[in-house]
Amino acid sequence: MALPNHRAPLAEQVEQLLAAEGPLPIVAAGDPVLRRPTERFDGQLDPALLARFVEALRITMHAAPGVGVAAPQVGVSLRIAVIEDPAPVPEEVRLLRGRVPQPFRVLVNPSYEGVGEGRAAFFEGCLSVPGYQAVVARHAEVRLTCEDEHGHAVDEVFSGWPARIVQHETDHLDGVLYLDRAELRSLSSNQAMAEYWAQPAPDGAARALGFTLPE
């Protein structure tokens, strides 16, 4: 007697999602899928379907636009995310935040750990929490372990802004939103960001809004 295929529903879900052309709809905060730890990827999607899903994530990320998208953000509870950052920022921002270009990458079953004691605090936002940003203190450097979309092992150290992106997207796969780690007194609308907090560092926001930055 054949065993039931418990993987079929997830593959069917992805097939249905990909039936429509163009960017995938982004799931907003409040949807339970963003608060559930994701299912580890171990072949639930065949290689062709995985490639189509990865491409759809890439298109969605570019269209948003953003520098990363995790599978739960399109409603799929699977431990996969994509990142890419052309880093079109002024030199002052690049130097202060360590924001350097990152090529397109697929993170399959990622996890990270901090390297050293360094922390960095900057405003960040999220496609699933549109219209707002908040200051988050994160590891300044992290070691990422995962596989790529071809099953090849990845073990790499990221620093600066790329480290922040890795942490943000991997957190999504654990059911964690950036607001869970944010200094909530810093929460600002995009309009307020443009009007008050366009500086490369959040020091002025900390003084004016009454929160403390890490040493």
Write out pLDDT tens, residues 38-84: 999 999 999 999 999 999 999 999 999 999 999 999 999 999 999 99
Closest CA to 205 of 214, 215, 193: 193
Confidence of residue 108 (pLDDT cuts 50, 70, 90): very high
**66 CB-near residues (< 8 Å, 6+ apart):** 127
Look at the block and give the residue holding tokens 């570019």. Answer: 62
> Is 14 within the bounds of a domain?
no
Q: Which domain holds residue 179?
A: 24-209
> Is 18 within the bounds of a domain?
no
CATH number at residue 43: 3.90.45.10
Q: What is the pTM of this model?
A: 0.93
Confidence of residue 163 (pLDDT cuts 50, 70, 90): very high
> Is 47 within the bounds of a domain?
yes
Known binding-site residue numbers for Fe cation: 126, 168, 172
Average pLDDT over residues 2-22: 75
Known binding-site residue numbers: 126, 168, 172
For residue 169, indicate whether it is catalytic: yes
Choosing from 169, 183, 195, 215, the catalytic residue is 169
pLDDT of residue 9: 86
Task: Count other Cβ atoms within 10 Å, centred on residue 84.
Answer: 19
> Is 176 within the bounds of a domain?
yes
Token output for 26: 């982004």
Residue 21 φ/ψ, nearest 5 degrees: -80, 160
> Is 172 within the bounds of a domain?
yes
> Is 124 within the bounds of a domain?
yes
pLDDT of residue 3: 33
Considering its fold, how many domains does the chain have in total? 1
Q: Is the pLDDT of residue 2 over 70?
A: no
Q: Is the pLDDT of residue 152 over 50?
A: yes
> Is 19 within the bounds of a domain?
no
The C-alpha atoms of residue 211 and residue 185 are separated, in whole angstroms, by 6
Confidence of residue 8 (pLDDT cuts 50, 70, 90): low
> Is 175 within the bounds of a domain?
yes
The C-alpha atoms of residue 44 and residue 7 are separated, in whole angstroms, by 5
